[in-house]
Amino acid sequence: MEVESAKLIGAAIAMGLGALGPGIGLGLLASKALEAIGRNPEAQSKVQTTMILAIAVTEAVAIYALVIALMILFA
């Protein structure tokens, strides 16, 4: 197999598998946050702020996979 095709397959697999975990994690996060807001609408701004922070940290894991995929493709 040539290096070029190996690069393409490698980048695709890296990003594809790397997005599984964070995808599930983000779904869980958002659902729990929505549940919390539903139970206690007064605490909405606190819950929302913490949720955004947690979303960004979880998203970062998917971004690590993206960086690896981009490095495989372009460097």
- Contacts to another protein by CB under 8 A: 52-53, 56-57, 59-60, 63-64, 66-67, 70-71, 74-75
**Minimum CB distance to another protein smaller for 24 or for 71:** 71
CB 43 within 8 A of CB 37: yes
Taking the complex as a whole, the smallest distance from the CB of residue 32 to another protein amounts, in Å, to 19
Taking the complex as a whole, the smallest distance from the CB of residue 69 to another protein amounts, in Å, to 9
CB 65 within 8 A of CB 18: yes
Taking the complex as a whole, the smallest distance from the CB of residue 48 to another protein amounts, in Å, to 12
Packing angle between helix 20-39 and helix 44-74, nearest 10 degrees? 170
Residue 11 and residue 40: Cα distance in Å, rounded?
43
